[in-house]
């Protein structure tokens, strides 16, 4: 029997009661955070069983985010993918411009239920920070966003957006000054202020229950896309493709197809190439380890020190990945392939020129994967791609990469 | 060869018999260099440390403030390896007979191999581990190895811990309980929060394990205040800061002051900060 409402996930879905997806997940956090995380887990269990909470969440998704998001067939883009039919799930058309708003709203409502008055969040590309600042403005919560100094430079427009929305943006100057260190700094804030503060984590990583809860808030993506594709084509896709950093848009897409005969393909950021050492391909090139509160695949050296990631896209520039992806990877249910900066930027420009859609550079990794997969599968194939965000925030990076006029 | 859990237990018991708290000092291995770190730790023992914690530097120390982050960073950029951490343990213990704990985030231990780490730590004369991001629920594998090799498993508890968590933690821990004096990351504070005294009182109702209090203790006066109710006073960042300033004399001086602070007769705060009634 198909579970066709989108929230929450069907009973019996992973994780186990202690937060494990197979060998991955769990909760590796200081004792000082255990009480706060227990509170999140308990309140989330109550919230998802509360029709009023579910109705409020669904109402916001429909009338504030603008769901269901469109499903667009990319005819001219598909000509470059061996003639396969390619459909784009348009999370870029959501309010705030990416899938991140689904989770931000869900957790902001949860923070309110818990009586918290302050929300903190990390951000890489700024999409999660903007979505969190937006959800906090809407719900009247105070908002502080930690962002690596390097990323603040790469995503200056999003910094301005967050500040305009009333959030305080705190530059993080430790470590690689990117997403990983922004998460460390947000945890440090939370340890000191669990009483009034909720950590609105942005991806399906972190300690249990964050990977499961955030997946539940994102699974609307796949549930909608599945229904829309069946209506439009009368069949399921051959492959569903998404980019994977922490993996929230990908798990949101994949989860509705887990029991279907559909290939699930995650595109990791290979940066300057997996062989170059400058990449963020945790599943392709990492090994099991503990980072940010859960066991998953991480980029690390032989003594467990985390290695700095690299990607042209700030949102994928992360040396870990959500534990459910680690489980799908080792079980073979999903496949993960590396996509380089150059391949992603090629797809980025190609989509702009063939479809009039400027994707986020993160999402361009999935588009590059679709070009490969479409070509591999041939003209009869039906490929679903999650276009997780729009590319307005990436104009500076694109301008520099392509040497556009504005750069001169 | 087995580890030195008993030495740790005896050391804390002796301090208690002497009517004082033990002084537990923390410095990361490999900081400012491996040999420099060993010398610094030896200096703290000479100046009165009863127990030492050797930090295993980590790339992502989420429970540490800026001072220890900086020291870890210097150690890692200097190329410190787990073998260097174990050498630090071995040389300090061999030279002083002091119980030596390793404080490490979980991933390096897990990656190195839990059994291998426990075995080599015991062989180096180590007394056990403090594992700040390993909650009891995830600790079964480590505790099996710790028991096998006579190593202490020191859990960190916080003022926010529920009674249920405290009970579970003291049941699983050995050596002593590390009570975090405040909600937050490591680093010196102007005053030690009353929360530490409350937490210690709560722990006393649950366990006979010694309770050592750390996080935020930076000077002899604070050490004296904590020593009034705890079995041990743990000082890290304030000591690390002296080395960041490149001031070895300050390290020795501060340690000696702290050692005086944990002993009876040290002038208490002008305004008593804690109710010491149990």
Residues A51-85: tens digit of each pLDDT: 999 999 999 999 999 999 999 999 999 999 999 99
Question: Are B168 and B122 spatial neighbours (Cβ–Cβ below 8 Å)?
Answer: no
Find the closest chain B residue to A36 by CA distance. Answer: B160
> Band of the pLDDT at A2, cuts 50, 70, 90?
very low
Residues above pLDDT 90, as percent of chain B: 86
Strand ranges (E), A114-182: 118-123, 142-148, 168-172
| 3 state SS of A301 | coil
Q: A-chain residues within 8 Å CB-CB of B132?
A: 30
C-alpha B256, offset from chain centre:
17
Instruction: Calculate the average pLDDT of chain A.
Output: 95
Cβ neighbors of A120 (< 8 A, separation 6 or more) are A143, A144, A145, A146, A186, A189, A190, A197, A198, A199, A200
- Give me A76's structure tokens: 């001219």
Dihedral Cα A153, A156, A158, A161, nearest 10 deg: 140
Dist. CA B264–CA A142, nearest whole Å? 47
* Contact yes or no for B135 and A36 at CB 8 A: no
DSSP label at residue A275? G
d(CA B267, CA B270): 8
| Range scoring the smallest mean pLDDT among A280-294, B66-80, B176-190, B197-211 | B176-190
Determine whether the interchain pair A191/B185 forms a contact, defined as Cβ–Cβ distance below 8 Å: yes
A303 touches B at CB < 8 Å:
yes
Q: What are phi and psi of A338, to 5 degrees?
A: -80, 140
Query: Which run of H or of E encompasses B232?
Result: strand B232-235
Q: Does the interface predicted TM-score (ipTM) exceed 0.95?
A: no
Residue A21: phi, psi to the nearest 5? -105, 95
Give the pLDDT band of residue A5 (cuts 50, 70, 90): low
For B136, list phi and psi in degrees, rounded to 5. Answer: -50, -40
What was the pLDDT predicted at A106?
A: 98
Read off the pLDDT of residues A379-395 as tens digits, 9 standing for 90 and up. 999 999 999 999 999 99
Q: What angle is formed at CA A289 by the lines to CA A100 and CA B133, rounded to 5 degrees? A: 85
- Asked if pLDDT for residue B276 goes beyond 70, the answer is no
Mean pLDDT of A84-100: 98
> Most confidently modeled of A5-9, B177-181, B257-261?
B257-261
* B137 Cα distance to chain centroid: 21
CATH annotation of B5-261: 3.20.20.70
Does residue B1 surpass a pLDDT of 60? no
A301-336 tens-digit pLDDT: 999 999 999 999 989 999 999 999 999 999 999 999
Which percentage of chain A shows pLDDT scores above 70? 98
**Residue B113, Cβ neighbours under 10 Å: how many?**
12
Tell me what the mean pLDDT of segment B109-125 comes to. Answer: 98
pLDDT reported for residue A275: 94
Least confidently predicted of A58-72, A168-182, A370-384, B146-160: A168-182
* Beta carbons of B222 and B187 less than 8 angstroms apart: no
Alpha helix (H) residue ranges in A356-388:
361-377
Catalytic residue among B18, B39, B46, B64: B64
Check whether A218 has a pLDDT greater than 80.
yes
DSSP symbols for B120-139: HHHHTT--EEE-TT--GGG-
pLDDT of residue B269: 62
Assess whether pLDDT exceeds 50 at residue B209.
yes
Inter-chain Cβ pairs, chain A and chain B, closer than 8 A: 111
Of the candidates B4, B95, B109, the one whose C-alpha atom is nearest the C-alpha of residue B43 is B95
Residue with the bigger pLDDT between A178 and A200: it is A200
CB A108 within 8 Å of CB A136: yes
Query: Is A297 near chain B, with CB under 8 Å?
Result: no
Average pLDDT over residues B12-40: 98
pLDDT at A407: 56
Question: Could you say which residues from 168 to 197 on chain A have a Cβ atom under 8 Å away from some Cβ of chain B?
Answer: 174-175, 180, 184, 187-188, 191-195
Output the pLDDT for position B270. Answer: 52
Q: Contacts of residue B59 in chain A, CB cutoff 8 Å?
A: 175, 305-307
Any CB–CB contact under 8 A between A208 and chain B? no
Contact between residue A131 and residue A164 where contact means Cβ atoms under 8 Å apart: no
- Using the predicted structure, report yes or no on whether residue A408 has a pLDDT greater than 70: no
Q: Which of A116-130, B134-148, B186-200, B260-274 has the lowest mean pLDDT?
A: B260-274
Give the domains, in start order, of chain A with CATH numbers.
20-64+99-214 (3.40.50.1100), 68-97+219-407 (3.40.50.1100)
Domain ranges in chain B are 5-261
Q: What is the mean pLDDT of residues A217-237?
A: 98
pLDDT at position B24 is 98
Flag whether pLDDT at A338 surpasses 50: yes
């Amino acid at each position: 029997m198909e579970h066709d409402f989108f929230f929450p996930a069907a009973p019996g879905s992973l994780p186990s009661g202690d937060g494990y997806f197979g060998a991955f997940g769990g909760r590796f956090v200081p004792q000082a955070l255990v009480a706060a995380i227990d509170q999140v887990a308990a309140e989330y269990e109550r919230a998802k069983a509360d029709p009023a909470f579910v109705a409020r969440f669904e109402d916001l998704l429909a009338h504030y985010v603008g769901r269901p998001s469109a499903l667009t067939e990319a005819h001219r883009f598909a000509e470059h993918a061996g003639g396969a039919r390619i459909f784009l799930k348009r999370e870029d058309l959501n309010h705030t411009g990416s899938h991140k708003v689904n989770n931000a709203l869900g957790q902001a409502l949860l923070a309110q239920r818990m009586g918290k008055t302050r929300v903190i969040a990390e951000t890489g590309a700024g999409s999660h920070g903007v979505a969190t600042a937006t959800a906090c403005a809407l719900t009247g919560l105070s908002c502080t966003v930690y962002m690596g100094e390097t990323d603040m430079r790469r995503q200056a427009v999003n910094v301005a957006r967050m500040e305009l929305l009333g959030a305080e943006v705190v530059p993080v100057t430790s470590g690689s000054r990117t997403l990983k260190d922004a998460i460390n700094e947000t945890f440090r804030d939370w340890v000191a202020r669990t009483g009034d503060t909720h950590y609105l984590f942005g991806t399906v990583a972190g300690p249990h229950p964050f990977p499961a809860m955030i997946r539940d808030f994102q699974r609307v993506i796949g549930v909608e896309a599945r229904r829309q594709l069946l209506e439009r084509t009368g069949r399921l896709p051959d492959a569903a493709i998404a980019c994977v950093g922490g993996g929230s848009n990908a798990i949101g897409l994949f989860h509705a197809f887990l029991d279907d005969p559909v290939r699930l393909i995650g595109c990791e950021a290979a940066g300057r190439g997996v062989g170059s050492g400058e990449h963020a391909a945790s599943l392709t090139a990492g090994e099991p380890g503990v980072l940010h509160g859960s066991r998953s695949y991480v980029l690390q050296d032989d003594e467990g020190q985390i290695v700095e990631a690299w990607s042209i896209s700030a949102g994928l520039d992360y040396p870990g990945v959500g534990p459910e992806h680690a489980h799908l990877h080792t079980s073979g249910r999903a496949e993960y392939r590396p996509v380089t900066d150059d391949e992603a930027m090629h797809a980025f420009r190609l989509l702009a020129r063939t479809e009039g859609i400027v994707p986020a550079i993160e999402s361009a990794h999935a588009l590059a994967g679709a070009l490969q997969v479409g070509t591999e599968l041939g003209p009869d194939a039906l490929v679903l791609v999650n276009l997780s965000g729009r590319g307005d925030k990436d104009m500076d990076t694109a301008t520099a990469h392509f040497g556009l006029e504005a750069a001169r | 060869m087995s580890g030195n859990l008993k030495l740790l237990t005896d050391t804390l018991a002796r301090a208690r018999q002497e009517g004082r708290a033990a002084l537990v000092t923390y410095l990361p291995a490999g900081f400012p260099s491996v040999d420099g770190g060993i010398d610094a730790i030896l200096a703290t023992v000479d100046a009165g440390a009863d127990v030492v914690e050797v930090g295993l530097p980590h790339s992502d120390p989420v429970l540490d403030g800026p001072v220890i982050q900086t020291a870890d960073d210097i150690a890692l950029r200097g190329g410190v390896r787990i073998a260097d951490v174990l050498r630090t343990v071995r040389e300090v213990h061999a030279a002083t007979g002091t119980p030596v704990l390793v404080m490490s985030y979980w991933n390096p231990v897990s990656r190195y191999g839990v059994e291998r780490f426990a075995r080599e730590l015991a062989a180096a004369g180590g007394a056990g581990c403090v594992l700040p991001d390993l909650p009891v629920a995830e600790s079964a594998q480590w505790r099996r190895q710790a028991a096998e090799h006579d190593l202490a498993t020191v859990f960190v508890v916080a003022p926010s811990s529920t009674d249920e968590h405290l009970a579970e933690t003291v049941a699983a821990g050995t050596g002593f309980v590390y009570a975090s004096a405040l909600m937050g990351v490591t680093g010196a504070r102007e005053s030690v929060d009353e929360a530490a005294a409350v937490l210690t009182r709560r722990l006393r109702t649950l366990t006979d394990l010694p309770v050592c209090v750390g996080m935020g203790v930076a000077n002899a006066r604070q050490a004296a205040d904590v020593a009034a109710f705890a079995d041990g006073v743990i000082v890290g960042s304030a000591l690390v800061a002296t080395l960041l300033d490149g001031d070895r004399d300050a390290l020795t001086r501060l340690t000696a002051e702290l050692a005086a602070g944990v002993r009876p007769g040290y002038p208490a705060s002008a305004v008593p900060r804690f109710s010491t009634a149990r």
